[in-house]
């Protein structure tokens, strides 16, 4: 029996008081890659936000990497997020710092203190994303594809069981987008990290097939 990292049962998801997704049931196992597809505004981002605790779960039952989403409060939220990696479309990197400083900032913020271990961890994740000699670079000097790799490296820092990726190829050209997809699939294979990726890029989905869930008409449907 594989380890379950996401389990939602009969969940209703609200955004600003409006019911966005109704009666959501889905399970993600360790090492699984899952696409979340659907038109803009159909609830993909709201679902991801519920999984990392930005939208509070009020109806139904939800467990993510061992945390009960219904019991989330400001005290428990950092612990949930420490066990998750989140990759954004717009990278959300600190542009006034080097790659190394960006990653160090996250480690310090999540309780790492030993400078040697911090350095080792940063080397480790940068090697994993193919940027082993780029730690000294300022993030604004990098191409979009490199910035997305830094973003993925950041998501890997605390060896998460689950990475949530919101349109990670949205602003990249096709070739760079392929490289990022290969990297994400490699991570699921090498580390056993589950990845849930929201996208509306069907070229990516067709080129790198995996289990696909669709948001439409207020429901989350499994595509056969």
C-alpha Rg value of the chain to the nearest Å: 17
Other CB atoms within a 10 A radius of the CB of residue 71 amount to 9
What share of residues in the chain are helix, strand, coil (percent, to 5)?
35, 30, 35
Which pLDDT does position 94 carry in this prediction?
85
Let me know if 155 is exposed, middle or buried by CB neighbors in 10 A (0-12, 13-18, 19+): buried
pLDDT tens track for 120-148: 999 999 999 999 989 999 988 998 889 98
- List, in order of start, the domains of the chain with CATH numbers: 32-54+82-222 (3.40.50.300)
How far apart CA 122 and CA 4 sit, in angstroms, is 28
Is the per-residue pLDDT at 2 higher than 80? no
Per residue in 45-96, pLDDT (tens digit) is: 899 999 989 898 999 999 999 999 999 888 888 888 888 998 876 667 888 8
| pTM (2 d.p.) | 0.91
């Amino acid at each position: 029996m594989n380890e379950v990292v996401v389990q939602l049962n009969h969940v209703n998801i609200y955004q600003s008081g409006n019911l966005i997704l109704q009666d959501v049931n889905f399970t993600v196992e360790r090492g699984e890659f899952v696409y979340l597809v659907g038109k803009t505004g159909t609830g993909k981002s709201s679902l991801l936000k519920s999984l990392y605790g930005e939208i509070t779960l009020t109806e139904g039952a939800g467990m993510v990497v061992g945390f009960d989403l219904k019991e989330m409060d400001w005290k428990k939220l950092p612990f949930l997020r420490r066990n998750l990696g989140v990759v954004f479309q717009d990278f959300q990197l600190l542009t006034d710092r080097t790659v190394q400083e960006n990653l160090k900032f996250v480690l310090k913020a999540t309780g790492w203190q030993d400078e040697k271990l911090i350095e080792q961890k940063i080397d480790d994740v940068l090697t994993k994303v193919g940027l082993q000699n780029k730690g000294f670079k300022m993030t604004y000097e990098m191409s979009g594809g490199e910035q997305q790799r830094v973003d993925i490296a950041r998501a890997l820092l605390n060896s998460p069981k689950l990475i949530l990726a919101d349109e990670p190829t949205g602003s990249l050209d096709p070739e760079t987008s392929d490289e990022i997809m290969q990297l994400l699939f490699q991570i699921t294979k090498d580390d056993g990290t589950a990845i849930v990726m929201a996208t509306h890029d069907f070229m990516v989905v067709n080129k790198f097939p995996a289990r696909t869930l669709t948001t439409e008409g207020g429901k989350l449907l499994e595509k056969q």
